[in-house]
Amino acid sequence: MRQYTDTHRGLPLPRLCADLARDLGDTRDDITLLAVRTPGTRG
């Protein structure tokens, strides 16, 4: 998952979460994502 978020880090958080749910989730079940972007941090 880290590689995915690093690759897509420029996306707004709502879009990043939606893309993660679609691309990495199991659509047969509920998914909960928590994403936080803090200013000044680098991966």
Q: At 2, which helix (H) or strand (E)?
A: helix 2-7
Q: Specify the pTM.
A: 0.59
What's the CA gap between 32 and 10, in Å, rounded? 21
How many structural domains comprise the chain? 1
pLDDT at residue 41 tops 60: no
Residues 1-16: pLDDT tens digits?
778 778 888 888 889 8
User: Which residue in the block uniquely carries the two structure tokens 């996306």?
Assistant: 11
Check residue 30 and give its pLDDT. Answer: 80
Sign of CA dihedral 25, 27, 29, 33: positive
| Residue span of the structural domain in which 9 resides | 1-43
36 pLDDT tier (thresholds 50, 70, 90): confident
State CA 24 to chain mean position distance: 9
What's the CA gap between 37 and 14, in Å, rounded? 11
